[in-house]
Structure formats: structure tokens, C-alpha cells
Amino acid sequence: MTAVITGVGAVSAFGVGMPALLGGLAEGRAAIGPIQSFDARTFPTRVAGEVPVATITPAWLAQGIAGVDPATRDATIRLLAEAHTLRDRKIGFALLAAAEAWRGAHCGDAERDASLSIALGLEQAFLDDFGPIFTSPDAGGPREIRWDAARDSAVAEVRFRSRIDLAARAVGDLLALRGPTIVNVSACAAGSLAIAHAASLVERGAASVVLCGAADSMINPLGLGGMCRLGAPSPRNEVDACRPFDKRRDGLVIGEGAAMFVVEDEARARARGARIHARILGWGSTQDAYRVTAPRPDGSAARRAMERALARARLAPEAIGYINAHGTGTPLNDPAEANAIRGAFGADTDRIAVSSIKGAVGHLMAAAGALELAASLLAFERDVLPGTAHHRDLDPECPLDVIGPTPRPARVDALMSNSFGFGGQNAAIILGRAT
């Protein structure tokens, strides 16, 4: 059995919906700007690829979710609002993208047994909620977290953090899914791994339909602050903060959003007349097993992930016409990825177009692989390959055919998308044009 994509939904810095994402990329635009969703003026990093909504409200969310039973939609949103968890922005993004994918695939009651394979980022810590219980037991003494008070019903609004699988539960509730839910938390590789898992379930006959993808937002004080402490973001607070594969690159820019897909068996999709956006031909995952804070410089483990994907797809390297790179724009990632690509593709590397959309929408962390796979569909939908925003001078350490800021017209029949996670998890997925 072959897994195919029959529905896609996306939320990104370009806005809500796949048309916004593909439109922005096809026009070569970028959507990085000053952070609006919280007061970041004292943070080292103050720009991001933020979804254009300052606060996610029930009304905004309900307005964006179409094609779903309104009563179920409203009940799902109400529960989240009552628990004060809409503050965790990725939950709303997941709902929006899932509804778009489900609607686009024309799924209905016959698909309710679908499995859900979703990748999610960190629990969002609600640092505001620590305020009432952070005090000193003795007047003038050192302050500490009063856990006894935290357990007291008198401060019932204290939540500390959103549960990591809350978005998965909400998506399942929204669409009344009856299949098993699997939540992948493999950092920046998680989105790709969740989609690969979905394809695997279909290919091995364990599921006929899987709703899969990812949602994440680290654009909150602890998320952004944690990344700042790591030194991962560019120190420049400019809209061109992220410049993948460029000599001048100096770090990543954080993004947020979601991308969800309906993946099903090709024969089933054809039988019900569903439109096939792409075939999922192969995937591979490996671990660097190298260091906590750096990728393996020679890219050997990432290369093995690409080789595994090629082997599973039964494709020779020359069959790949485009690579959507992880391309974070950090000093260490990009040359390591270039080494990995050259290792996997050998002499064919020079004729394979490569780009990264992180300069345009930011690094979506757990959702990066999912959004970038959705963006890659531009190649099949419009015969256009996404550009690399803010890329100007190719770093000789990254000897690849990097597409510059302007999208490149081209027809490709197979493409690869890479994702590499903090901690060393690597994933590669190969899509094929629907025939």
C-alpha cells in the first residue's frame, strides 16, 4: 500500500490557511517581524515569525474553523477557554490546521476511525501563574514556590503549564476521531517523524486513514527566553535575522504555526474520488549520538537518514529534484547539512535545487518539518520551488545549489524534506508527484 496526502492545512506567519502559505512563498515574501503577542522589549531576541494574531480568542478561533459541526467546535473551544489553555498558542493553530486538512480531504463519518499522529512542542509554562504562590514563608526571607498553596483550591486558576497532549486531545474532540492518538515529542524532527509514522501506519495496513502533522509555538517568555539562553537565535533584531546557507548567517529566527495532513491509502483515496496532493514515497530517521548542543559536523547521521528515505522509496539519488532543507541559518547546522546532502547525493548534488523557508516564516521547532512539507507542495501545485529568504552570498562551506530569495520555476517529480532536532534526532521524507 502507498500512503498519499489528500488534505493539507497550515497556519504560519503568512496567516491561516494553505493559500496564505503557498501564496506568500510563491511571491517570494517573508513574514518576520517584531513580536506582538507579548512584551519582549527586554529580551535579546525581539523578532519572530509570528502568526498574525496577538491573542487567540474563542471568537477568532471559531471564525477560522470551518466545515466542522458548530456544536462540536464550540464545545471544544469552550473547554479550552474555561481551562485558560488557549494561552498556549499551538493548541489553536493545531485546531485550525486540522480542520482545514479534514475539510480539504472531504473527510466525514467514514473517516472517523482515523488515527491521529501529531507532533507537539513543549508544554507552555504559564509563568504568570507562579506569581500568587511565589512568596517567602518568613517576612523578609527568601522567596520560594509555595507548593502547598499551589495545591490549594483557593488558587485554582494556577496551571503552571499546558499539558503537552492537550492539542491532540482537542483535535480528536473537534473531529470526533475514534482511532488511537500518538503524540511525537522529538523536538525539531517531531513533525517529520509524525508524518512518517502516519505513512508507515498506512503502508503496513495498521490504519487506512491518519490525520497527522504538528503544531508549535515557542513565542512566549519561557520558550523564547530558553532559546535566547542557548544562543540559538540571531543576535540581530532585523527582519532578515535568519539567512540560511549565507556567509553572513548568524542564527535562527523563531516561528510558530501548524501543518496537518490527511494521509490515507492510495487505493482508498482513489476509490472515494479524493484529490491526491502527493504520494509519500519514503522516509528515514537516525540519531546523531554526538552532542547535546551541536549537530555532527560531518553530517554522517543526517546523511544516513536521507539514504534510508531513498532506500525505502526505492529511488536513486538522481530522482530527487528538490530538497527542502532544515536550513536553520545557524553557523553549525547549515554546513553539517550540506555535508550530509553531498554525502547522500554525491555527484547528483550539484543539479539538485535546495532551499530553506526558515528565513521567511521562522523555525517552527516541533512543527518545522510539517510546515516545510506543506510548503514543499508548492513544487507540485504550481511547479515553483520555494526560495530562501534573505540568502545572498553562498557560504563556500555549504556547496549546494541554493535557491535565492526568488522562487524558482521548475518541474520536479520527487522531492525531499529534512528535519533535524535538538538532541540529534534526524528525519527525511520523500514526496512524489501524484500521477
Partner 1 sequence: MTATPPVQRSVAIAGASAISRYGATWRGLARALSDGGSFPGVPAETPLANPKARNARKMMSRGAYLAAAALAELMREVGWSAAQREGAGYYLGVGASGGSLDDVTALLDASIVDNHGTREFSTVAFGEHGLAACNPLLAFQLMNNFTLAHGAIFEGLGGPNGALFSRGSGTTAALIEAVHAIASGDCERAIAGGADSATHPVTAAELAREGFTAHGLEVAEGAGLLALVEVAQLRPSTARLGGNDAANLGSVEAAHRSSPDVIQLGSVDAAPSASLGVEVHAQPILVTGCAIACGRGRDLGATIADAIARATEAAAAVAELDVVVIAGWGPPAVDASRTWARTHAPRARIVDVAALGATLAAGPALGWIAALDLLAASAARRVLVIDAGVDGDAGAALFERGGAA
Q: Using CB under 8 A, which residues numbered 136 to 175 contact partner 1?
A: 142-145, 147, 150-151, 156, 158, 160-161, 163-165, 169, 172-173
Which residues are tagged catalytic? 188, 326, 363
The answer to whether 122 touches 166, Cβ cutoff 8 Å, is no
For the bound state, the minimum distance from the C-beta of residue 336 to partner 1, rounded and expressed in Å, comes to: 15
Interface pick for partner 1 out of 204, 247, 275, 351 (rule CB under 8 A)? 204
- 205 vs 273, beta carbon nearer partner 1: 205
Of the candidates 211, 274, 282, the residue with the CA atom closest to the CA atom of residue 430: 282
Q: Does 6 bind partner 1 (CB under 8 A)?
A: no
Q: Which residues pair with 48 in a beta bridge?
A: 33
Q: Give the strand pairing for 3-12 and 256-265.
A: antiparallel
Q: Which residues of 89-99 are buried (b: 16+ CB within 10 A; e: fewer)?
A: bbbbbbbbbbb
Residue 41 binds partner 1 (CB under 8 A) = yes
Give least dist CB 154 to partner 1, A. Answer: 12
Give least dist CB 348 to partner 1, A: 24
Q: Which of 2, 52, 134, 237 binds partner 1 (CB under 8 A)?
A: 134
- CB of 230 vs partner 1, minimal distance in Å: 5
Which one of residues 23, 52, 58, 221 is an interface residue with partner 1 (CB under 8 A)? 221
> Total number of residues binding partner 1 (CB under 8 A)?
85
> From the CB of 402, what's the least distance to partner 1, in Å?
28
Of 253-261, 270-278, 300-308, 370-378, which segment contacts partner 1 by CB under 8 A? 300-308
Question: Shortest Cβ distance from residue 27 to partner 1 (Å)?
Answer: 34
- Other C-beta atoms lying within 10 Å of the C-beta of residue 4: 28
Q: Please report whether residue 282 would count as binding partner 1 according to CB under 8 A.
A: no
Q: Which of residues 10-39 bind partner 1 (CB under 8 A)?
A: 38-39
Contact between 94 and partner 1 by CB under 8 A: the answer reads no
The residue to which cell 487506512 is assigned: 208
Q: Under the criterion CB under 8 A, does residue 44 sit at the interface with partner 1? A: yes
How far from the centroid of its chain's Cα atoms is residue 97's Cα?
11
Task: Please name the residues in contact with 302: beta carbons below 8 A apart, sequence gap of 6 or more.
Answer: 286, 288, 295, 296, 336, 337, 340, 418, 420, 426, 428
Using the rule CB under 8 A, is 55 a contact of partner 1?
no
Q: Rule CB under 8 A: which of 404-433 touch partner 1?
A: 421-425
Distance separating alpha carbons of residues 403 and 244, to the nearest angstrom: 10
Residue 294 binds partner 1 (CB under 8 A): no
Q: What is the DSSP letter of 275?
A: P
**C-alpha–C-alpha distance, residues 358 and 249, integer Å:** 12
In 143-164, which positions are buried (b, 16+ CB within 10 angstroms) versus exposed (e)?
A: eeebeeeeeeeeeeebbebbeb
| Distance of closest approach, residue 127 Cβ to partner 1, in angstroms | 5
Per DSSP (E only), the strands in 266-370 are 278-287, 322-324, 353-355
CA distance 57 to 191: 25
Nearer to partner 1 among residue 20 and residue 237 (C-beta)? 237
For residues 94 and 384, which CB has a smaller minimum distance to partner 1 in the complex?
94
| Footprint on residues 310-349 left by partner 1 (CB under 8 A) | none
Does residue 397 touch partner 1 according to CB under 8 A?
A: no
Which phi and psi (to 5°) does residue 98 adopt? -65, -45
Range in contact with partner 1 (rule: CB under 8 A) among 50-58, 179-187, 354-362, 391-399: 179-187
Among 20, 79, 81, 228, binds partner 1 (CB under 8 A): 228
Contact (Cβ atoms closer than 8 angstroms) between residue 8 and residue 263 = no
351-390 residues near partner 1, rule: CB under 8 A: none
- Is residue 290 part of the contact set for partner 1 (CB under 8 A)? yes
Nearest to 283, CA basis, from 153, 145, 392, 431 = 431
